[in-house]
Amino acid sequence: MTFGGFGFIIHTSQQWRCRLESFDLRRHYIYTPEMLMCTPEADQIISEWGVFSMVNVPEMFGSLVFNDETMKKYLPKGTYKALKKTIEDGKPLDIAIANIVAHAMKEWAIENGATHYTHWFQPMTGITAEKHDSFISPTAGGGVIMEFSGKELIKGEPDASSFPSGGIRATFEARGYTAWDPTSYAFIKDGSLCIPTAFCSYTGEALDKKTPLLRSMECINTQALRVLRAFGDNETTHVSTTVGPEQEYFLVDKKVFDKRKDLIYCGRTLFGARPPKGQELDDHYFGSIKPRVSAFMKDLDEALWKYGILAKTKHNEVAPAQHELAPIFDTTNIATDHNQLTMEIMKKVAEKHGLVCLLHEKPFAGVNGSGKHNNWSMSTNTGKNLLEPTKHPRQNIQFLTFLAAVIRAVDENQDLLRISVASAGNDHRLGANEAPPAIISMYLGDDLTEVLHSVLSGEDYTADGRPIMETTAEVLPNFTKDTSDRNRTSPFAFTGNKFEFRMVGSSENIACANFMINTMVADVLQDFADQLEKAEDVNSAAEALIKKTVEEHKRIIFNGNNYSEEWVKEAEKRGLLNLRSLPEALPLYTTEKNIRLFTKHNVLTEVELRSRCDVLLEKYSKIINIEALTALDMAKKDIVPAVTSYIKELAQTVSLIKSVDPELVPAAQTELLKKLNNLLNCFVKKIDALDKAVVGAKEIENVADNAMYFKESVLSAMQELRAVADEMEANMSSKAWPYPSYGAMLFSV
């Protein structure tokens, strides 16, 4: 039953019929939220009837986006065609056309309540940046008109001196440029028209995440088309990489969050004894979603749909208070922009519900951290997925060629894949039994592994087809099984028609991982194209090429348990890298091999590559330094005074007992008093050790050495300090401990 945009869930049992008869239904037809709030029986109606708003998703979807449908409405046909040509073929946009587009954008934006515009870009901070300018322009007589030119659309000039540049820009060299990316739709956010842009320095070096991603997409398009042409495909004119990034996150109550300095400053807890219950029962995973979280998810979906973001799946994750949102696939550039916007909107929507959304990779020790599964594939403009095996993968030589290219690319560039997900936060997550290990490997599944075995051995491949799953209960339907199981422990797993790169951290910009994957695969495709274009018999040449590639790079394929100790030993025998932390991985970024790879394909210059390495190393050191200073602040100002007061209270209790009866021996209190006093003494020593470690970092100037020092000295001192603090918390009254407990944080929503 629906009325005025609201619906009612009506119970039809005899008990509910009796209750409904007592209501004057005409008084309870709710047309607006305001009317509902004014209704005396509102609480009873909500609890007993279940009021819910009706949402027109098709009408809502993309309503805040200057998308294709909107462009058709606001642009002249000729302008629309010229803009589409720029978007699809990368053709330059004439300034006269840009002026018309800018005017249309402004008119649409103003109609939707916008007063400002901003070039929305993605600097190497990992988050987005904005500088807002109003549409107003003065007129004679002191009035204003609303203007927006093609020049303002195409180019902006934000200050480039305060963004990370890795030495490309000095502080006094402030000028930087933002350049409109017409392949990503403009949108309205918080009263401003947001124009997705690239960001570069005055001297032309890329200072952002978007530029190398766009370059890599052009690169893989060029090389993939060459391979397709060699196979006789003259219909395809463009190949795009596509991504569907699954986003994991935690939700905690804001009142609890506000009492934790570590969450406020660092995004993760630096202290915290484990609660009696964690994720041992696996009861949170895919469990019933709590009402408060469900309300957040509903509002989040609606907010994302307005921005044209294809939010599809939502569910509880493994850890308490952990959840996931997964979108439908989109081209990599759009998916990256959408994921950055998604993370921002998640935080804003959470605040409206009195919650805080935590995107850190490891906000809580002892439970699973959060990742961002990067589902990567290649698709043609004719609608074909180049990683689709089809029903007969052994006969699909084109598919096997692209598969072999990915296998070789991953094996030859293990270092880059590891670097692409390296961060201070992700180092806490990788290698635990919740995320792939730091060792790069590929999972292909039984079916594809058998296909490749037949390629190597020359034996016939005879598939039984997709088997039928017999449910053995007459009421349940039988269904077709997938050809392979899933391997959730693999870093780079084939999952039907795509590769799922599971190592990406939950807070990271997916552009980094994807421009590296695109470039390394494009490099192999270029070599393949060089060989296939010369072949008289392309299929025979491709067969030989696939066999040679798999033989040389099969060490990277592993279908077993990546968490096992046996795999660590086996991987070492195979010569696979095990780069456990960012300071271990980053020095490999600027090897001769990697400089040659990125410069060869014009994705990064050597200067840009070296600068990014320095930015990542500096950021790692700064994050650990902030965490260390936060831990010291919490330890000195809160934990030591709290434990001292509790010890004093215990000592007074012991004295009081003895004063009442000298023969009484308060053994329990005395033992606890001794234990806490010893722990406090140890804690103070650990504080001093961490203090000295932080000071010692200032003496190391080399960025790589400094990062390694923070890992080996500062981070280890923090862990030792935490161990003592957590032991004290476990032996104190919860009222005496200065911070909300893990139990309060994980189970309060």
SS3 132: strand
Residues 449 and 301 grouped into a single domain: yes
Mark whether 37 and 111 lie in a shared domain.
no
Two structure tokens written together for 726:
């957590």
The mean pLDDT value for 289-293 works out to 93
Q: Decide if 609 is inside a domain.
A: no
Structural domain includes residue 611: no
Residues 48 and 76 in one domain: no
Measured between alpha carbons, how far is 402 from 597 in angstroms, rounded to an integer? 19
Is residue 196 classed as helix, strand or coil in its secondary structure? strand
Same domain? For 300 and 445 the reply is yes
Mean pLDDT of 237-245: 96
**Taking all residues of the chain, what is their mean pLDDT, rounded to a whole number?**
89
Burial 161-192 (b: 16+ CB within 10 A, else e): eebbbbebbeeeeeebbbbbbbbbbbbbbeeb
Q: Tell me whether residue 62 is in a domain.
A: no
- In-domain check, residue 121: yes
pLDDT score of 22 more than 80: no
Question: d(Cα 741, Cα 537) in Å, to the nearest integer?
Answer: 68
Asked whether residue 303 is domain-assigned, the answer is yes
- Residue 307: give the domain boundaries: 217-604
CATH number of the domain to which 729 belongs: 1.20.120.1560
Question: Is there a single domain that holds both residue 597 and residue 508?
Answer: yes
> Confidence band (pLDDT; 50, 70, 90) for 16?
very low
Q: Of 577, 604, 631, at which residue does a domain stop?
A: 604
Does position 160 have pLDDT exceeding 50, yes or no?
Answer: yes
Q: Which of 389, 372, 391 is nearest to 498 (CA)?
A: 389
User: How many domains would you assign to the chain?
Assistant: 4
- Residue 4 scores a pLDDT above 60: no
User: What's the pTM?
Assistant: 0.90
pLDDT tens-digit profile of 552-570?
999 999 999 998 889 999 9
Angstrom CA distances, 465 to 391, 395, 447, 482, stand at 8, 14, 10, 10
Whether residue 296 lies inside any domain: the answer is yes
Identify whether 309 is part of a domain.
Answer: yes
Residue-wise pLDDT tens digits, 132-154: 999 998 888 888 888 999 999 99
Which tokens is 256 given?
Answer: 């609890």
Which one has a higher pLDDT value, 280 or 217? Answer: 217
428 inside domain: yes
